[in-house]
Amino acid sequence: MSRQMRICLSGVLGLALLAGPALAGLSIGGKVWYADTENADDPAFLVGPTLSIDLTENLWISGMGLFGTYEFDEGDWEMDQTDAEAVLGYTVSIFDIGVGGRYTLWQVGPDNDELNIFGPMVYLGIGDTFGESPIGWYAAGSYMFKDFGDAEDEDVPGYEHWNAEAGLFLAFERFGATVGYRHKEWIEKDYDRTFSGVAASVSLKL
């Protein structure tokens, strides 16, 4: 388990223990994304925690962190990826709108050369149940419109990017689960670096 993942898990569990008695809308869980990318030997499992808090009936905060490793050139070198985001959102009918931030860290090769990518994002989601069923559908997307990471220091095009995910969800009183397809793509880069694949999550409301 990577150092970043241990820190993130410790933070999520600590916040859950401290805030649980006071926040009836606190949910914790986990997410997995089996994502493929160009030239990698195989798709990688990106796994990590999720956290959400209902501040009011319509206002909420959510966050997640995903961690995984890609191998290239038949295992000659690796790329560790951290992918995280946090959103302050508001629900109107079946729509969610929000603002927040995204962070990506690439650690490449035997020397763990790092590239930090972070910046503000906007978020839009939609979803509803199938009638009175606990099963429903969802679609969501985010756009990180400015990269304040290492690319800005090097005066090269930033790593602005968008994410989209759609699928089905299952929602009971305290338990929730999703399964869908997630896609991430850079905007300003010449190469066609995308990440896409099946994503699933589970959550429990405390």
Quote the CA–CA distance of 38 and 191 in Å, as a whole number: 10
* pLDDT confidence tier of residue 152, bands split at 50, 70 and 90: low
**Each residue of 40-66: pLDDT tens digit?**
889 999 999 999 999 999 999 999 999
**Each residue of 62-94: pLDDT tens digit?**
999 999 999 988 778 899 999 999 999 999 999
pLDDT at residue 191 in the model: 61
13 has pLDDT over 60: no
Spell 107-118 as b/e; 16+ CB within 10 A means b: bbeeeeeeebbb
Task: Read off the pTM.
Answer: 0.85
H or E segment and range at residue 68: strand 59-72
Averaged confidence pLDDT in the chain: 87
